[in-house]
Amino acid sequence: MLRKADAAAGANDAPQAPDDEGTPVSVKIRERILAARQRFHANDNIAEFIQPGELEALLDEVEHKMRGVLDSLVIDTENDHNTANTARRVAKMYLQEVFRGRYVNAPGLTEFPNAERLNELMIVGPITVRSACSHHLCPIMGRLWIGVMPNEHTNVIGLSKYARLAEWVMGRPQIQEEAVVQLADLIQEKTQPDGLALVMEAEHFCMQWRGVKETDSKMINSVMRGVFLKDPSLRREFLSLLPRRKD
């Protein structure tokens, strides 16, 4: 059998390993996701398909491809000291920081039964949200408020845990209106409240840095679930308790 490495001798600068080791790790992960018939859009989490050690290999792969992008932008990464390590930096930033929420499991939560039988409206926020749009990978920076109406069966989680859940969902290339729904679904599933309300207000840098260059536009999205949908006075109470947003 003619090995690929022999056939393409000299044509490929990447070291060729035998068999399966020559397959890019992204391809292996993608094949597992396809076999499980799962979705892998930009704002989906794919942690369950990544095996130990593969994130490191993925980092090398993204660095290699990122270097190709810089080459195609005709940037002399060999002689320009500013961009010599940019490919590695960007790969790390994507995989370990700004898009980490795609590649790691959900933060562990300690849930407590609602022993105090809390049944008053609780508001958490503002929580700072940081993300990037799926369309341009430009930053999205904003704030989030969460209203929870517990019942006696609701699992109570610590206030900081809401921020960790938000960070996990926002740490992916996102679309704001999809992000608030993903986060609402997650909080609903983890805590089972009677009602849940989310308001997210964010600036989209793809509107400021490029495109229409509108520097002062914010996008506001809300999701209302359970009693917040049925009870207009509760909804009004929640919205009135949010700090007045600057116009």
φ, ψ dihedrals at 61, nearest 5°: -65, -45
| Window of 27-35, 89-97, 102-110, 127-135 that interacts with Zn ion by CB under 5 A | 127-135
Q: Specify the pairing of strand 139-149 against strand 195-204.
A: antiparallel
Q: Which is nearer to Zn ion, 101 or 193 (CB)?
A: 101
Smallest gap from residue 213 Cβ to Zn ion (A):
13
User: Of 41, 65, 89, 135, which one interacts with Zn ion (CB under 5 A)?
Assistant: 135
The 19-38 contact track toward Zn ion, x by CB under 5 A, reads --------------------
Smallest gap from residue 202 Cβ to Zn ion (A):
12
The closest residue (CB) to Zn ion is 206
CA 204 centroid distance within chain: 15
For residue 44, the tally of other CB atoms under 10 A from its CB is 13
> What are the E-state strand segments in 40-164?
112-113, 122-133, 139-149, 155-156
Does the N-terminal peptide bond of residue 24 adopt cis geometry, omega within 30 degrees of 0?
no
> Judged by CB under 5 A, does residue 169 bind Zn ion?
no
User: Of 28, 30, 92, 136, which one interacts with Zn ion (CB under 5 A)?
Assistant: 136
> What is the spatial distance between Cα 159 and Cα 148, in angstroms, rounded to a whole number?
11
**What is the 8-class DSSP label of residue 174?**
E
Q: Which is nearer to Zn ion, 21 or 177 (CB)?
A: 177
Which residues pair with residue 113 across a beta bridge? 155
| CA dihedral angle for residue 100, residue 76, residue 11, residue 19, rounded to 10 degrees | -20
> What is the spatial distance between Cα 182 and Cα 48, in angstroms, rounded to a whole number?
18
> What is the spatial distance between Cα 166 and Cα 146, in angstroms, rounded to a whole number?
10
Smallest gap from residue 66 Cβ to Zn ion (A):
20
Smallest gap from residue 138 Cβ to Zn ion (A):
5
* Residues numbered 173-232 forming contacts with Zn ion, rule: CB under 5 A: 206
Is-contact 93 67, C-beta < 8 A? no
| Window of 87-95, 131-139, 150-158, 166-174 that interacts with Zn ion by CB under 5 A | 131-139
Smallest gap from residue 42 Cβ to Zn ion (A):
12
Smallest gap from residue 37 Cβ to Zn ion (A):
29
| Window of 40-48, 69-77, 129-137, 179-187 that interacts with Zn ion by CB under 5 A | 129-137
Which positions lie near Zn ion, rule CB under 5 A? 133, 135-136, 206
